[in-house]
Structures are given as C-alpha cells and as structure tokens.
Amino acid sequence: MIKYEILGYNNQINLNTLDMPLYVYIELTDSCNFNCKFCSVDKKNKNFISFDLIKKILSELEKNHIYDIYYTGGEPMLHPQFEEIVEYAYSLGFRQTVLTNGSLINKYKNLLDKIMCVCFSLHGSKKTHNYLTNRDNYDNLIENIKLTIKHTNAKINYTVMNENQNILEMKDVLDLANKLNVEVSFSKYNNIGFGKKNNCSIDIGMFADSLSDLRKQGYIFGINDCMTPCLLNKELEYLSHGCGAGYLFASITYDGDIKICPSSTTKLGNIKNQSLKKIWHQQKLKEYRDFNWIPLYCKSCKNLSKCRCGCKIELSQNITQFNDYNVELYKTKIWNEIKNKKMTVNISLLRKEKNSYISLSNPPRKYNNQAIDIIKKLNMGIIPSQIENSKDFVLSLYRDKIIKEAE
C-alpha cells in the first residue's frame, strides 16, 4: 500500500470525540407545498411523524442531554399537529428551530415565542426566488419574516446554484436582510434529490469569488455547507470548512430512521426499536468517524482537518466511502488533463529513514518504498494512465507540485 504524507501537519483525523450529537434534525413530514427546483429530497409523499414517536424521540434526546432540535421536511409546518409538537417540546425545555419556506408562518404566529429561531428559505430576487421554488410566494415570505422578528429570531438561508450565484442576486438578499436586521447564511447546492434530477449545478470557484467580494464590501454572513479548500484559490481557502454530519449532529426521519444528515438516504437504525445511543455507537458509525477509510488524496492533504473530506452524502449510500461530488468532478478533470502526459519529478534530495524516505523540501514529505517506485516510473517517462491503479497518489503528487508536465 502506498504511503505518502506531509510532515508537520496533523493528518490523523478522528471524529469519535463526542459521546452523543450536539443537536438533531427531526423530519416532521416528507410532504411539501412547494416544488423547489434544487430540493435535496427526491420524492414527495404525505407522511407525517406520529405524536407518540415525537414523544419517544424527545424522551431519548432529553435522556442524552441533547436540547437543540431542528424541524425539517418537506415543510414542517404542514404537520397537522405542529402546534402540539412545539408546545410539548417547549414544555420540556427544548430549544427549537424551524427550517421553513415561510408560507405558513401567519397560521402559527401564536407559537413564535416558543420557537428559538425560524430559518427561512430565500434564494435571490423576487423573480429568481419564485422561479426556483415554482411558487409566487416572495412577497408573502417577506411579510412573514417581518412578522416573525416581532416575536423571535429569524434567519435567511440562501441555497446557491448556477441560476442564482450571481453576486447581484446575493447582494440583493443581503441588503434586504440588513434592512430587516436578520442574519443570512449561504448554502451551496448539493448534487442530490430533485436538484440532481433537474440537472442543477454550481460553480464553486464563482461562488467563492462572490463570497470573498461580498466580505470585502463589508457584508457579514454565514456559510452553512462544507466547501473543500482544494476547489478554491489559495487566497480564498479561509472560506472553506467541513461538515458535522454523523458526529456533531444526527437526523431522524418521520418514521424514526436515524441518518447522519437530513439529505442522506442511508438508514443506520430506527429509534422505534433501538436506543439512539446504541445506534450512535454502532460499529459502522465508529468506522465512519475514525476516518481510516478516506482516500490518499485527502489523507495527504494539509487541509484535511479543515474540510474533513467535504460532503458525506452526494455520491453513494456508503458512508465510509468518499462522497463529495464536486471534489470527485475536479479530480476527474485534472486526471483527464494529465493522464497522457509525461511528467518531471521535483525532488532534489531524499533522506533514507528506516523503511521510509524523507524529501528535504518545504514542507518535508514522507514516502514508503511503493510510493518511491511510482515516482521512479514517472521520472522514467511512464505516463499516468499506465499506472492508473495509483491514480490518487499521482493526483496528490501533482497537487503538491512534486510532479508537473514535462516541457
């Protein structure tokens, strides 16, 4: 097995650091009154969580000292017992956040003082927002945000994709938020659900450039979803961060299934017949959190502790497999550019140390014998496509400028 690491950086990531998650998403329903083009859900039904199951879930959370809950859907306010659920959770002392399209706030305005925060989905100017959500709801949404802030905290979440990653659209929402005195967070589109079926996409570079420009203009905002540094220019790496799925937070569906993320399709157990603690500490999740499964390209990256391998749910149902769609797309692009080109090796001096070699570079790097054999082949004129089984290592060398195209 090839071993390659950058010395001086902590590349040993282990997320088994919490006994239980800090907060939990609860799917009240998979039903929705909107039809958003980019939705991470791939189908809409009319299932609702039972009140008995809500009570069981809250009892489990209380027992494990988890007090922050986020209601998701679908549209959570469509639940016929939404009022009873909020009242009951409030009576137990839970801090409740509702993730909503904002269309039904007026119906439940008497509950707002029992909800810690209402997070509204708003995705650009009036024209763009109504187009992306397939509903003429923009004006109603703004009025409901105004209503909410009279009673509790409100936030705006803006999902970014090609149709609305224009900086003018983003600025339009930030200016509105400043007038309303509410916070804004931007979330990148994830390649799953209806969004994937609708061929939605995002240009991560353009998104990061827009965020950077807005910061320079003095705008203050949050960034919700993970962005990996390897997709960004070096000066924009400060915008990147990882995801807490499966260790900071968990998700529970309307039917009691436990997942690492609300957008995941992988079920890890059901709270109806197992305790949350038992599910959380199962071997599969321990393996997921110990990070031994990550590819060499990530394991050898100096930014691993920052991004933690990006999104965990886009490419497959296997949680111990690399799953970030945009990074995989980027790696494929680079591989196709270099796979049939001869490479030159940029290692000036190696020091033998036990069964490894240390390159005296800045920063120094460590290779085992198998890694050195691959480097020798590249130095002798073997093109990358002839050693495709070592693709991740070759891409790592290229990223770190250990190899480059021969002139």
Q: What is the pLDDT at residue 241?
A: 86
What is the Cα–Cα distance from 253 to 251, expressed in whole angstroms? 7
Q: CB burial class (10 A; 0-12, 13-18, 19+) of residue 154? A: buried
H or E segment at 121?
A: strand 117-121
**pTM across the whole model:** 0.94
What is the Cα–Cα distance from 285 to 274, expressed in whole angstroms? 15
Cα 357–4–228 angle (5° rounding)?
150
Per-residue pLDDT of the chain (407 residues; tens, 9 = 90+): 999 998 876 667 888 889 999 999 999 999 999 999 999 987 778 999 999 999 999 999 999 999 999 999 999 999 999 999 999 999 999 999 999 999 999 999 999 999 999 999 999 999 999 999 999 999 999 999 999 999 999 999 999 999 898 899 999 999 999 999 999 999 999 999 989 999 999 999 999 999 999 999 999 999 998 889 999 998 999 999 899 999 999 999 999 999 999 999 999 999 999 999 999 999 999 999 999 999 999 999 989 988 899 999 999 999 999 999 999 999 999 999 999 999 999 988 899 999 899 998 778 899 999 999 999 999 999 999 999 999 999 999 999 999 999 98
CATH class of 18-292: alpha beta
Looking up tokens 């050898």, which residue turns up? 300
Cα 149–156–238 angle (5° rounding)?
130
Radius of gyration of the chain (CA): 24
Looking up tokens 């499966």, which residue turns up? 246
Q: CB 313: neighbour CB atoms within 10 A?
A: 25
Strand order in the sheet with 356-359: 4-6, 365-368, 356-359, 350-353
Q: CB 26: neighbour CB atoms within 10 A?
A: 24
What is the Cα–Cα distance from 133 to 143, expressed in whole angstroms? 17
Q: What is the pLDDT at residue 87?
A: 99
